[in-house]
Amino acid sequence: MSGLENVLTWVDSSRDDMIRFMIHMLKIEAVNPESGGQGEYERALYIQREIETLGMKVTRYDIPDNRVRHGVRVNLISVIEGRDTSRTLWFVVHLDTVPEGSRELWSTAPYDPVVKDRKIFGRGSEDNGQAVVSTFFTLKALKVNGAKPSINVGGVFVSDEEMGSKFGIIPLIEKGIFGERDMVIAPDSGEPDGSVIEVAEKSSLWVKLITKGKQVHASIPEKGLNAYRVGLKLALQLDELLHSKYAEKNPLFDPPVSTFEPTKHELNVDNVNTVPGVDVQYFDCRILPQYSIKDVMRDFEAVKSKLEEETGALIQIEPIQLEENAAPTPPDSEVVQKLRVAIKKLNGVDAKARGIGGGTVGLHFRRKGIHTAVWSTVDDLAHQPNEYCKIDNIVKDAKVFVHVAMS
């Protein structure tokens, strides 16, 4: 067998080790502190020990964060030298997770992973645990088999992806670690058959809407100003305007339109017989590249001003996340083509380049002009109860990564 075939066979034989690694990792909670957790510190230390056990060097970047017990958010980088050392193929995965949500919706304990029906159930199993394990075992496969990749191959295990990457990939990019000629694969989105390689993202805008009226007893509403009613009008008017004004389609993306979704709504009053004086709600907007976030924000402000004049309420518009899209990775770029070849050869699938609405670390690399492909084989269960990953997908993705690294 060729060197590549030997390494691929080794990956197949490591299935049980992958399961053990995943179960141990998922038992270490890594909920982002923005969502009430203590972050990724202990999970990162586990990954660091496992990489160092292979005799590989790990460079650790601690980013200060006084919200967490240890005071830092940990990011890890480990590199295997290639035949050409002037460039690096990076696999970038994230260690943090969202919370489990409503426990009653889970059939298993979120942080006590269960293996069932060739799947591993647990919070963070698919997002992004599967990719962490596939990436680790890609590095391990190359190391223990003495394989020499065509260029350097690096694993990057980052914090804070779930809430904007301020303590993760953003400061790492600012340190100049990644070169313009490097390539990045971020296994953080995909399809059940692995048929989509993400090369572009929509702009992301999260907006908090605070409506202030006057709280009174519900039996005398004329003496108050119902902030909830005004808030409803605000949401409905925005929903209608934004969907009608920004209605163009772009076939690169799935879905091919901009989306504007009212999502979170905060508790306004505790009892039924009180007219709310304050109402707080949120919009999640995913905007196609042909539109500007600034134009969308101007429309938020225009609807707000008109409704304030009509009702006498005071309305605050607060953007809480604003990520303008970057130029797409060319579908014919080297990293996309290498992935296509590997996916076709190993899985028999013709993968297509697409844009998505979700946000990944790919955005930050594309802003620097670094060609980035986002790909994995997943059932799209991120943030859902009863999240799982298929064990077969861990193995198959690792084999694709090895193929790309050695091609």
**Which residues of the chain fall short of a pLDDT of 70?**
1-2
237 and 290 inside one domain: yes
Alpha-carbon span 326 to 203, nearest angstrom: 8
Query: 174 and 281 in one domain?
Result: no
Total count of domains within the chain: 2
Decide if 308 contacts 227 (C-beta within 8 A): no
Beta-bridged to residue 280, according to DSSP, are: 210
Q: Which of 96, 160, 191, 387 is catalytic?
A: 96
Instruction: Convert the pLDDT of each residue in 64-100 to its tens digit.
Output: 999 999 999 999 999 999 999 999 999 999 999 999 9
Task: Supply the pLDDT for residue 358.
Answer: 82
Give me the pLDDT at residue 359, please: 84
CATH label of the domain that carries residue 40 = 3.40.630.10
> Catalytic: 96?
yes
Pair (86, 170) in one structural domain: yes
One domain, residues 45 and 179: yes
CA distance 175 to 351: 33
Asked if residue 363 and residue 317 are part of one domain, the reply reads no
Of the candidates 40, 126, 160, 161, the residue annotated as catalytic is 161
Backbone phi, psi, residue 355, to 5°: -105, 155
Q: Which of 300, 323, 346 is the last residue of a domain?
A: 323
Task: Give the end of a domain, one of 280, 295, 323.
Answer: 323
For the entire predicted model, the pTM comes to 0.87
CA atoms within 13 A on the CB side of 97: 31
Domain housing 249: 203-323
> φ and ψ at 96, to 5 degrees?
-80, 160
- Residue at which a domain ends, from 301, 323, 345: 323
Specify the pairing of strand 84-94 against strand 114-116: unpaired
Q: pLDDT value at position 2?
A: 66
**Percent of the chain, pLDDT > 70?**
100
Find how far residue 37's CA is from the centre of its chain.
17
Hey, which residues does 97 pair with through a beta bridge?
Answer: 31
Instruction: Tell whether 185 and 214 lie within a shared domain.
Output: no
Give the list of residues 6+ apart from residue 222 with CB closer than 8 angstroms, or none.
Answer: none
Structure tokens at 57: 């060097």
Residues 188 and 159 in one domain: yes
Write down the pLDDT at residue 1. Answer: 44
